[in-house]
């Protein structure tokens, strides 16, 4: 287990594993990742990151009184912005 990054209250870890073939390695990686998430949920649920999502309709963009976003460029919601 290696800590590869620790920024803005988040810690990124990396676990090195090996298996006899690619299929077994993929399955092992998935099992370990799911096990780590389950362990975190069970032992310290507050440690998991949370993200707030606001669902909008296409008509919300056309409302003239919606001035909260004027003057600020909007990123295309379908594109990765570089922030996790």
From first CA to last CA, the distance across the chain in angstroms is: 21
Give me the residue spans of the domains in the chain.
Answer: 2-62
Lowest mean pLDDT among 5-14, 24-33, 46-55: 46-55
Better-scored residue on pLDDT, 3 or 50: 3
Structure-block tokens of residue 18:
């090996």
Number of CB atoms found within 10 A of residue 33's CB: 11
Q: Choose among 20, 8, 15, 6: nearest CA to 34.
A: 15
CA 80 – CA 33 distance, rounded (Å): 23
Q: How far is CA 61 from the centre of its chain?
A: 26
Q: What is the tens place of the pLDDT at every residue in 31-82? A: 999 999 999 999 998 888 787 788 887 765 655 555 555 555 555 555 555 5
């Amino acid at each position: 287990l290696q800590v590869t990054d620790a920024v803005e209250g988040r810690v990124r870890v990396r676990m090195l594993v090996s298996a006899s073939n690619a299929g077994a390695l993929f399955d092992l990686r998935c099992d370990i990742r799911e096990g780590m998430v389950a362990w975190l949920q069970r032992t310290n649920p507050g440690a998991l990151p949370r993200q707030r999502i606001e669902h909008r309709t296409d008509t919300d963009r056309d409302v003239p009184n919606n001035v909260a976003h004027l003057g600020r460029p909007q990123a295309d919601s379908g594109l990765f912005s570089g922030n996790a």
